[in-house]
Amino acid sequence: MFEATNLNRRNHQIQWLFKVLFGMMTLILIVPVALILGVLVAKGGPAISMEFLFSMPRNGLTEGGILPALIGTMWLVGVALLASVPVGIAAAIYLSEYAPDNWLTRGINLAIINLAGVPSIVHALFGVGAFVVFAGFGASILAASLTLAVMTLPVVIVATRESLQAVPMAFREACWNMGATRWQTIRIVVLPNSVSGILTGIILEVSRTAGETAPIMFTGAAMFLPFLPQGVLDQTMALSMHLFVISNSIPGMSEEFKYGTALVLISLVLLMNALSISFRVYLRGKKKW
Amino acid sequence: MDLDVRGQDWYVDKLVSVLVFVGGISAVVLILGIFVFITKEGVGFVFGPMEVWEFFTSPFWRPTSRTEATYGILALMVGTASVTGLAMLIAVPFSLGAAVFIGEFATGRTRETLKVLVELLAAIPSVVWGFIGLAIMNPLIIETFDVPIGLGILNSGIILGLMAAPIMTTIAEDALKAVPDGYREAAEAMGATKWQVISKVVFPAAKNGLMAAVLLGVGRGFGETMAVLMASGHSINLPTSVFDSVRALTATIAAELGEAPVGSDHYRALFTIGIFLFLITFVINLMADIVIRGGGRKR
């Protein structure tokens, strides 16, 4: 019969060694962050109450709640989605259904990678230059949201393109053979079969948009406002900005408040993300082709 | 009865193809727009009142000095480089190790769970990382190393490393996944152990993708703003130890843009830093793209 030689045994020991080593490395990446999140929950949890979530800040932000920051984040995310989702979906449809394999398409792909890779503070500079000063929106929800929309556009494009491309070619061919035009095919066959994948991408974008700070610091987010925003040309508070402000410079700020704000922000972002991921997993399980 | 509705459909089809094309080139328009807008504000500065050479080699960044304002970004570049460097020392080995474990060793449910965890880690907002640096890492470093201040290269480097690692892990794992299973099966059929397959077959085949992952990680660390602003101590310094506080290029813009009057020298100097950041990340992304493509052509 076969018997392991010394060389065999040594090779298997090496393999085992590397498996353990790399496994440990994976854990070292994940465990400390999990612990940190545990600390956030332990220290911030007691701060969370109805009053904390649903009342205005008082007394130089050290008392009361974070309501205007929560509402402001919703405004920012909402307006940013209105701007980026239609453009992003159109771009994805072009790239997946129309674009020939040429230099322009390669340029578009490179531009998307770069849009995602440009530092967030450079997006902020662009927002100040283009929306606040040049377009004359001033520091407002509109300017901040458009800056966020530009920054997160690649998220929508990439997610949508992926789900469009997951629709089998045969579906399109069958539709074309019935005499449908390109757009009819996209509208009747391609989009309905990929709509849930697109939704996954949009939820992911919400999560990204809600957490960003740098792009909104100078384009529309305020340190403190005693009122809620009434329209897109108002300034607003935002959760991420609020966390930055209170963790730095407010005297007499209680630890609990800081941890509480961080906890709310990270819960919001991670919940949206988890939702997007579980949606994706569910869809993969349901796929019929 | 008129059965011919082809005309209308044809026009709708044309209209849509124009609309989606406009959407398609929006990314190109925007990236050009970003370049044009920050250049418009910044470029007159370095080639006007400022010597380009002095801008990059002077360590004195004193934009608000009343007697004589000076604009030199050497110390800021050193700050960014030292923080990013430390972050990469942490992130590169660990994320490549994690990618190999998740992509090659782990199976079934373990693999799926780890992938989801890594993806969630990548989603933590940078301002939360900054808060972690201030509120948790700072006291921890003070206590462990017995130093007066825990904000500095070490703190922000670790934070940035933890931030960049999940992203690099995901990209590196994709690169490993792109290696055809046939390669692995062929090697296994020759009696190779899993580690031999990885080190002799998968690594060489995925080399370009892994390199791109590292590059994109560097770009990410380089451009990170909020976390570095909050965890680095933010004082202008040519550092001599890892406990020294430094100031990064990105953080400088974030901290000062609000105070600089629109159109002033200070304002334009900050935009010039923006151009510099834009160009560097552009080159990094371009290199990553070329590296990936180069791998594809050879095969």
Interface contact flag, A29 B101, Cβ < 8 Å: no
* Nearest Cα residue in chain A from B118: A30
In the block, residue with structure tokens 């880690």: B121
Interface contact flag, A121 B19, Cβ < 8 Å: no
Structure confidence at residue A249 as a pLDDT band (50, 70, 90): low
How far apart (Å, rounded) are the C-alpha atoms in residues A261 and A40? 10
Interface contact flag, A39 B136, Cβ < 8 Å: yes
- pLDDT for res B299: 42
Under CATH, which number does the domain A50-286 receive?
1.10.3720.10
∠ at Cα A167 (A164, A173), nearest 5°? 115
How far apart (Å, rounded) are the C-alpha atoms in residues B275 and B254? 14
| Number of C-beta neighbours around residue B110 at 10 A | 14
The A residues from 185 to 224 touching B (CB cutoff 8 Å) are 186, 207-208, 210-214, 217-218
Nearest CA of chain B to the CA of A123: how many Å?
7
Helix residue ranges per DSSP H, B224-264:
226-231, 249-256
The A residues from 10 to 39 touching B (CB cutoff 8 Å) are 11-12, 14-15, 18-19, 21-23, 25-26, 28-30, 32-33, 36, 39
**To the nearest whole number, what is the mean pLDDT of chain B?**
86
- pLDDT for res B5: 58
How far apart (Å, rounded) are the C-alpha atoms in residues A155 and A4? 51
Report the residue from A88, A99, A121 with minimal CB separation from B250: A121
Among A12-16, A248-252, B268-272, B278-282, the minimum mean pLDDT is found in A248-252
- pLDDT tens digits along B229-238: 888 888 888 8
Q: Which residues pair with A57 in a beta bridge?
A: A64
Q: At what angle do helices B74-100 and B249-256 cross, to 10 degrees?
A: 120
- Pairing state between β A63-64 and A57-58: antiparallel
How far apart (Å, rounded) are the C-alpha atoms in residues B53 and B72? 9
* Nearest Cα residue in chain A from B36: A126
Domain boundaries, chain A: 6-47, 50-286
Residue whose C-alpha is closest to residue A113's, from A161, A65, A47 = A161
E strands present in chain B: 61-62, 70-71
Residue B244's contacts (CB-CB under 8 Å, 6 or more residues apart) are B152, B153, B233, B237
Nearest CA of chain A to the CA of B54: how many Å?
23
**Per-residue CA distances from A70 to A52, A76, A147, B178 (Å):** 11, 10, 19, 41
- pLDDT tens digits along B238-269: 888 888 888 889 999 988 888 888 888 888 88
Residue whose C-alpha is closest to residue B292's, from B207, B229, B218 = B207
| Residue A14 with chain B: CB contacts under 8 Å | 193, 195
| Number of C-beta neighbours around residue B298 at 10 A | 6
- pLDDT for res A138: 86
Q: A228-254: string of b/e by CB count within 10 Å (b at 16+)?
A: ebeebebbbbbbbbbbbbbbeebeebe
- pLDDT tens digits along B275-287: 999 999 999 988 8
**Per-residue CA distances from B252 to A121, A244, B54, B120, B233 (Å):** 10, 15, 18, 29, 12
Interface contact flag, B194 A15, Cβ < 8 Å: yes
How far apart (Å, rounded) are the C-alpha atoms in residues A16 and A42? 37
Report the residue from A125, A218, A247 with minimal CB separation from B131: A247
Q: Which residues pair with B71 in a beta bridge?
A: B61
- pLDDT for res A251: 67
Please tell me the total number of residues recorded for chain B in this structure: 299
- pLDDT tens digits along B166-225: 999 999 998 998 899 999 999 989 888 888 889 889 999 998 889 999 998 898 888 888
- pLDDT for res B31: 93
- Is A267 a residue whose pLDDT tops 50? yes
Domain boundaries, chain B: 6-62, 73-298
- pLDDT tens digits along A17-75: 989 999 999 998 889 889 989 998 998 888 888 878 887 877 766 777 888 889 899 99
Kindly provide the ipTM of the predicted complex, given to two decimals: 0.89
| Residue in B226, B259, B262, B272 to test binding to A, most A beta-carbons within 10 Å | B226
**Max alpha carbon distance in chain A (Å)?**
83
The answer to whether B60 and B72 have CB atoms below 8 angstroms apart is: yes
Report the residue from B41, B120, B125 with minimal CB separation from A212: B125
- pLDDT for res A289: 65
How far apart (Å, rounded) are the C-alpha atoms in residues A106 and B290? 11
Residue whose C-alpha is closest to residue B97's, from B106, B84, B108, B85 = B106
- Is B44 a residue whose pLDDT tops 60? yes
Q: Which residues pair with A221 in a beta bridge?
A: A236
- pLDDT for res A29: 87
The answer to whether A205 and A167 have CB atoms below 8 angstroms apart is: no
| Residue in B13, B127, B201, B218 to test binding to A, most A beta-carbons within 10 Å | B127
- pLDDT for res B149: 85
- Choice between A151 and B63, residue whose per-residue pLDDT is larger: A151
How far apart (Å, rounded) are the C-alpha atoms in residues B122 and B129? 11
The SS3 call for residue B239 is coil
- pLDDT tens digits along B48-104: 666 777 778 788 888 877 777 788 888 889 989 999 999 999 999 999 999 999 988
Residue B98 backbone class (left: φ over 0; alpha: ψ -120 to 50; beta: rest): alpha
- Is B116 a residue whose pLDDT tops 70? yes
| Residue B23 with chain A: CB contacts under 8 Å | 86-91, 93-94
| Number of C-beta neighbours around residue A192 at 10 A | 11
Region A240-256: what's the mean pLDDT? 80
Under CATH, which number does the domain B73-298 receive?
1.10.3720.10
Report the residue from B24, B112, B162 with minimal CB separation from A33: B162
Q: What pTM value is reported for the model?
A: 0.89
- Chain centroid, CA B157 distance in Å: 13
